[in-house]
């Protein structure tokens, strides 16, 4: 299986490591930001696509009035299974669904939200068109994508470190997929092709990624994302070695205690 085919493969221990290490490291600050952008006074039904292990879902359930129905979907059943185990503050309708073929009627949601999932859609415009189709007129599609990897320090350091471990075939998952869809003109073009006639709003949001140990970001990226699939495809026996090399690189740049690095993302808002 080619690397690009494995970019969407969140299986085995990845969902657990993802939720344990990566969610607090980089996702939680943006989850609160994304949910805070919703106008709760106009909502009765909200759809989340590419919900993963449910970090945004939990924020939605904790923040939105109980009168607002929440439907959370993901293509990867293993991620949904983990989200169900973690649970939410109040009931959520969990669905196994492909963002490019949503199993919902037209004009059935007031808002569609998606945190860091759009980069994984094989056909962005098709997924965006589906989001638009299920939105009611005047409804809002809010999603976030990571900025260029150079603006996200831990991911950049890990990617550079692994190139030294596998110099003939460097693992490029982080640069290729999570940080590979950041060009505003491309995103605006894809939304226009999906039928969004008004130009979207872009907000670039910088934050800080904190970890109590320099090892945690290395474990999070190397073992809690599909980067693990890339490493194990090259040599499964070297996963621990690759993680240690990444950790050493983080320590070399940020120190051997608690570490703090820049993260940056675009939040995109499109109205039907």
Could you tell me the mean pLDDT of each successive run of 10 residues in the chain, 272 residues long? 44 65 88 93 95 94 96 92 90 96 98 97 97 97 98 98 96 95 98 97 96 94 90 94 97 96 98 97
Can you tell me the distance from the alpha carbon of 148 to that of 56, in angstroms, rounded to the nearest whole number?
Answer: 22
Can you tell me the distance from the alpha carbon of 201 to that of 191, in angstroms, rounded to the nearest whole number?
Answer: 11
Can you tell me the distance from the alpha carbon of 75 to that of 100, in angstroms, rounded to the nearest whole number?
Answer: 10
pLDDT at 5: 44
Q: What torsion do the CA atoms of 43, 46, 52, 58 make, to the nearest 10 degrees?
A: 40
In 3D, which of 184, 174, 198 has the Cα closest to residue 270? 198
What separation, in Å, do the N-terminal and C-terminal C-alpha atoms of the chain show?
38
Token couple for 8: 């969407």
Token couple for 106: 């037209």
pLDDT at 224: 84
In 3D, which of 172, 160, 263, 267 has the Cα closest to residue 211? 263
Can you tell me the distance from the alpha carbon of 147 to that of 75, in angstroms, rounded to the nearest whole number?
Answer: 23
Domain 3-271 has CATH 3.40.50.150: yes
Query: Would you call 206 exposed, middle or buried from its count of C-beta atoms within 10 A (0-12, 13-18, 19+)?
Result: exposed
Q: In this structure, what DSSP letter does residue 150 have? A: G
Q: How far is CA 127 from the centre of its chain?
A: 15
In 3D, which of 130, 128, 12 has the Cα closest to residue 77? 12
Q: In this structure, what DSSP letter does residue 127 have? A: H
How many of the other CB atoms lie within 10 Å of CB of 123?
14
In 3D, which of 54, 56, 100 has the Cα closest to residue 78? 54
């Amino acid at each position: 299986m080619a690397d690009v085919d494995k970019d969407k493969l969140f299986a085995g221990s990845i969902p657990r490591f993802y939720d344990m290490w990566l969610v607090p490291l980089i996702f939680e600050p943006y989850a609160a930001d994304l949910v805070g952008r919703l106008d709760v006074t106009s909502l009765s039904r909200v759809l989340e696509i590419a919900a993963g292990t449910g970090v945004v879902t939990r924020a939605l359930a904790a923040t939105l009035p109980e009168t607002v129905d929440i439907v959370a979907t993901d293509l990867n059943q293993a991620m949904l299974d983990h989200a169900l185990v973690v649970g939410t503050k109040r009931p959520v309708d969990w669905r196994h669904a492909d963002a490019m073929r949503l199993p919902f009627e037209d004009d059935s949601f007031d808002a569609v939200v998606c945190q860091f999932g759009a980069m994984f859609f094989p056909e962005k415009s098709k997924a965006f068109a589906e989001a638009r189709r299920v939105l009611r007129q005047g409804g809002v599609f809010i999603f976030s994508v990571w900025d260029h990897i150079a603006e996200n320090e831990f991911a950049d350091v890990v990617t550079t470190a692994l190139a030294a471990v596998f110099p003939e075939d460097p693992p490029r998952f982080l640069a290729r997929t999570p940080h590979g869809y950041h060009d505003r003109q491309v995103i605006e073009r894809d939304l226009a092709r999906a039928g969004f006639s008004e130009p979207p709003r872009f907000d670039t949001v910088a934050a800080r990624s904190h970890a109590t140990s320099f090892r945690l970001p290395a474990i999070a990226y190397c073992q809690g994302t599909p980067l693990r699939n890339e490493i194990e495809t090259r040599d499964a026996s070297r996963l621990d070695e690759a993680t240690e090399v990444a950790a050493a690189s983080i320590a070399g740049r940020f120190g051997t205690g608690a570490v703090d690095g820049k993260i940056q993302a675009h939040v995109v808002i499109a109205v039907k």
